[in-house]
Amino acid sequence: MKKFFAVLLAVLMLPVFALAEEAQPVTVKVNDTLSLEVVVPDGYGLDHAWYGDVFYGQMNPEEEGKLLMVLSLGYSEEYADRSINDLSDEELDSLIAVSMSDFANATYTLSETAEGTKLIIVDENSEHDEYAEVFTVYQGYFIGLLLEPAGDVQVSQEELDMAIQFLSDMQFVHTEA
C-alpha cells in the first residue's frame, strides 16, 4: 500500500516539476513606460547592456560549439510608433536594403513570428565568416537578432527556428508613467 501512495504522489508531482523547469521571462526596462520581456532559450545565459539609446542582449551558450545570439533594440524616429507590417512595399524594400548593407555576400528571405509580425532574415553566405541576422520593426523599435555559429558552419534551419521562436516569445509591456 505504501508503494502505491509513493507512486501516486510521484505521478501527481510531475506537473509541478514540469512547471518549475519552464523558462521564466527576463524583464528589461526600456524606459519609464516600457519594458521588454524575453525568454532566454534553454542552455543560454543573458548578459545585457545599454550603449547610448541601444539595448544589446548577448545570449551566451552554456555549451561550447553552440550558436551565439545578440539581440539589439533601438527606437527609430523613421518608423515612429509603426511596425514592419505597417510599411508600404517601398518602405519594406528600403528596410531590406538597409538590413543587408553591412553584409558582403548576403541573401534574404522573409518570414514571420508566431503572431504574424514580418521578419527579414539576412544570411551572409560565407565559407569563412558565416552569420545571419533577423530584423524587424515593432512599435517604432528596430530589432535585430544576430546569429553567429561556432566555427565555419552555416546557420542551420533549427537555429533560425530558435531565433524566430525567441522573437515570437518577446513581449513589449507598457505601463503608466
**Position 93 in a domain:** yes
CA dist 99 and 94 (Å) reads: 9
Residue 8 pLDDT > 70:
no
Looking at the structure of the chain, the number of domains it has is 1
- The CATH number of residue 129's host domain is 2.60.120
**Position 17 in a domain:** no
- Which pLDDT score, from 0 to 100, does residue 151 have? 76
Q: For residues 34-70, b (16+ Cβ closer than 10 Å) or e, as one string?
A: ebbebbbbeebeeebeeeeeebbbbbeeeeeebbebb
Q: Is 143 helix (H, G, I), strand (E, B) or coil?
A: strand
**Position 10 in a domain:** no
DSSP string, 25-44: PEEEEEETTEEEEE-PPTTE
Convert the pLDDT of each residue in 38-86 to its tens digit.
Answer: 999 999 999 999 999 999 999 999 988 889 999 999 999 999 989 999 9
Domain that holds residue 37: 23-174
Query: What is the 8-class DSSP label of residue 104?
Result: S
Residue (of 71, 84, 76, 87) closest to 36 by Cα position:
71
- Which pLDDT score, from 0 to 100, does residue 22 have? 57
**Position 42 in a domain:** yes
Mean pLDDT, residues 95-109 taken together: 92
**Position 126 in a domain:** yes
